[in-house]
Amino acid sequence: MSATSPDGRADTGGLAARRRDVLVALTGDVDADPTTHVGRVHGWEVHGPEVRLTTELSGVATLVERFRFHAPDGAPLVPDAHDPAVAGALDVLALAVSVSYLKATLPGRVELVGRPIGPAGHALLAALLTDGLAELALRAGLGPLDGTITLGPPPATPPSSPATADTRPGTLVTVGGGKDSALSLALAARNDPDVLALAVNARPPMERTAAWAEVGLVRVERELDRELLALNDRGAINGHVPITAIVMAAASVAAALLGRGTVLVSNERSADAATRDVDGWRVNHQYSKSRAFERLLGAALDEAGAGVRVVSLLRPLGELAVGRAVAREPGLVARTTSCNAAFALDGPGEGWCGRCDKCRFVQLVLAPFTPRERLVADLGFDALDDPAQVDGFARMLDPATKPFECVGTVAEVRLALDLLASRPDWRGTAAVRALADPDASDLAERTATLLAADATLLPPPPYDGWLADVTREGPT
As averages over each run of 10 residues, the pLDDT of the chain (476 residues) reads 38 81 96 96 97 98 98 98 97 98 98 95 98 96 96 83 69 95 96 97 93 96 98 97 98 98 96 93 96 98 97 96 94 88 59 92 97 96 98 96 92 97 96 95 94 95 90 59
What pLDDT sits at residue 14? 87
* Burial status of residue 23 (CB atoms within 10 A of its CB: 0-12, 13-18, 19 or more): buried
For residue 335, what pLDDT is reported? 87
DSSP run (H or E) holding 254: helix 243-258
Q: Give me the pLDDT at residue 11, please.
A: 42
In this prediction, residue 10 carries a pLDDT of: 39
- Here the contacts of 137-142 (C-beta below 8 Å, separation 24 or greater) are 137/15, 138/276, 138/278, 138/281, 138/283, 139/239, 139/240, 139/404, 140/18, 140/237, 140/239, 141/14, 142/12, 142/14, 142/15, 142/18, 142/106, 142/237
Asked if 313 and 469 count as a contact pair (C-beta separation under 8 A), the reply is no
Backbone phi, then psi, for 173, in 5-degree steps? -105, 120
pLDDT score, position 237: 97
Q: What is the rounded distance in angstroms from the CA atom of residue 83 to the CA atom of residue 434? A: 59
Peptide bond into 348 cis (omega under 30): no
Rounded Cα gap, residues 62 and 116, in angstroms: 20
Question: Of 41, 1, 69, 50, which Cα lies nearest the Cα of 254?
Answer: 69
**Rounded-to-integer distance, Cα 122 and Cα 124, Å:** 5
Q: Is 407 in contact with 357 (CB distance < 8 Å)?
A: yes
